[in-house]
Structure 1
């Protein structure tokens, strides 16, 4: 019997000091943040593998000319051509990558030319304007839907309807509304100078406005739903305490609602910024990529003729999106979220 005890002792001690036990103890000693990152690490690895290979492959293709027929290594020549304007003749129509800049001796000294013919400028204008108005309108809709009133369920369903419409159908709706023969809004808006009176869908400024309004109409519901989720996570007891303390509606919004909804608001803005920077389908179905050029449009339009240049534009687009994402994440980090 004493022999059995001697035999069992070392075995139990060995089990307690094995690698599995050491890993278990290491996990138990992790904090909540460390454990969260550990559980999310497989997802990060999978997303990194899925996203990293296409990105590296795109960068590799951007270093070559004549990728399909006779690949020729040109280094960063495609990127130099983009930022110096040498690639503009290879762009579809009269579009460019960057707007033209000229200087003069009179104020304002620097003049920007062809702003709406520049793919980068159009993409940034579309992103800033659409995301701004979608955030403001979506925030208002979320505040309304966060209240208790009769028929709230039906109002939520009505708000979601535009978001559920496919992009192509949405584009055709706005295309028909401004078509020269079937459109009914062109004449009315042209009287106020909002859109061009003739060839509305071929006018860069008018078409960009129409595409932006169409995107705001469709995607505001997405922002409203994300912001609403953040509003409904706020403890209602805070508002009761504020009412007892005599706080007004504006003070409740400024001191309770806005600070606590900012994390959800930042995530919503992040998602919409990424999506807006990649706009293509809506532009192609409303007016065409030569009228409203965007970075994604330039990638698609140049892919069959110059795959190296298209890859360079795609990689630059990814870089611009990464900068925008890092800006939003940094702002969230600075605010302590």
Structure 2
């Protein structure tokens, strides 16, 4: 980074050039971010306070909700603050921290969804052995492995980028520091680095997608032999998971399974990926789940009775 790097800060273009659109962005994304944080914190509090939500599914959902608080928090507060300033500046170190954080929590989210798919597969395809297979130790290992894999994915992205020489233009046509726009600014041949990025980010999304697809095909085939009530309950749970998987995995597959280029639609697609799944996950996993809704009602009734006393 030292002598060959003349860039100490980057200029972010943001989402829109129009001041009116930027002010509209502030209102919309401030509301979205507050709802995302509150919604996921509510899920975390409910799971930890409830005596009934102790199954592996809620253990993983607890981790997913924490990742869903952190993932947008790596980029959205800075984007919201930037709507008030004309020159959106981020330091070199701040840029690399943002890059690391976004990929760490985003990657962890993908791995946690894969662990949750494995949990659903065991619950439906091997119900008699479920409690033996998905014990506390196995759940802890799967969650720990998800966080470790997210860290390794992110640290590789960051180390590849931080060692590149930046000596010329420092303007990023995006609302945060992502790997493709940074490779475009580097004063070096980034072809090999671009290929590693595709292998790292793109293949993680693609492989996870195919693992999840295969697991759900097996689950659906298995469900044919179950009662209509068992099928309905299993499909309800799996339906929530499939919606989340599509929301989380489709944008990264579009973004990273291609050569290191930037397209006009990129920042809107990655914005959708950062904002929508963390915002919708609490709704998807609780509004479609009577067990979680009952636990929330109980939590609020206890707080209400304590308040009255």
Give the TM-score of the pair, scaled to structure 2. 0.30
Larger relative contact order (Cα-Cα within 8 Å, sequence gap ≥ 6):
2
| Higher share in helix | 2
Computing the radius of gyration from Cα coordinates, the structure with the larger value is 1
- TM-score, normalised to structure 1, is 0.28
